[in-house]
């Protein structure tokens, strides 16, 4: 079984809809992250959490919110989706004492906002 799982893997929605992307991990890592990947722009950090009680904004948090329900679960919400949020979304984890903060990525969620 995969260590970092994301659901759904693909989603098509309409402008204005509320969307939740979910991430679960079995690696036992405290740190979890949400990134989006766009062609030509690379990976950009949306939110990150170093433990269950810690939530921090990343580079591009506007229009997004997150919830850390447990050590193993971190969800990303788009309260009112817009077309420029069409992207590939990745959840990642890392261990507290990892050199360079090695990131372990999930398989990604491809989101299309029409």
Partner 1 sequence: QKEVEQDPGPLSVPEGAIVSLNCTYSNSAFQYFMWYRQYSRKGPELLMYTYSSGNKEDGRFTAQVDKSSKYISLFIRDSQPSDSATYLCAMSGSGGSYIPTFGRGTSLIVHP
36 lines the binding site for partner 1 (CB under 8 A): no
DSSP string, 20-84: EEEEEE-S--SEEEEEEEETTTEEEEEEEEEETTEEEE-TT-TTEEEEEEETTEEEEEESS--GG
- What is the number of alpha carbons within 13 Å of residue 61 lying toward its C-beta? 10
45 lines the binding site for partner 1 (CB under 8 A): yes
Sequence-distant (≥ 6) Cβ neighbours of residue 35 within 8 angstroms: 43, 44, 45, 46, 58, 89, 90, 91, 92
34 lines the binding site for partner 1 (CB under 8 A): no
Scanning 14-22, 62-70, 79-87, 104-112 for contacts with partner 1 by CB under 8 A, the matching segment is 104-112
43 lines the binding site for partner 1 (CB under 8 A): yes
In angstroms, give the least distance from the CB of 3 to partner 1.
11
Among 34, 47, 48, 74, binds partner 1 (CB under 8 A): 48
Query: How many residues are present in the chain?
Result: 114
Within positions 70 to 99, which residues make up the interface with partner 1, using CB under 8 A? Answer: 90, 92, 96-97, 99
50 lines the binding site for partner 1 (CB under 8 A): yes
User: Where does this chain bind partner 1 (CB under 8 A)?
Assistant: 4, 33, 40-43, 45, 48, 50, 90, 92, 96-97, 99-103, 105-108
């Amino acid at each position: 079984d995969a260590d970092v799982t994301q659901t759904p893997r693909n989603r098509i929605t309409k402008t204005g809809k509320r969307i939740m992307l979910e991430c679960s991990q079995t690696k036992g890592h405290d740190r979890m992250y949400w990134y989006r990947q766009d062609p030509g722009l690379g990976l950009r950090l949306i939110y990150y959490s170093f433990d269950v009680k810690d939530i921090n904004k990343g580079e591009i948090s506007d229009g997004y919110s997150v919830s850390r329900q447990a050590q193993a679960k971190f969800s990303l919400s788009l309260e009112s989706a817009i077309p420029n949020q069409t992207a590939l979304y990745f959840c990642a984890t890392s261990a507290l004492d990892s050199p360079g903060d090695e990131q372990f990525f999930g398989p990604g969620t491809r989101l299309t906002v029409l």
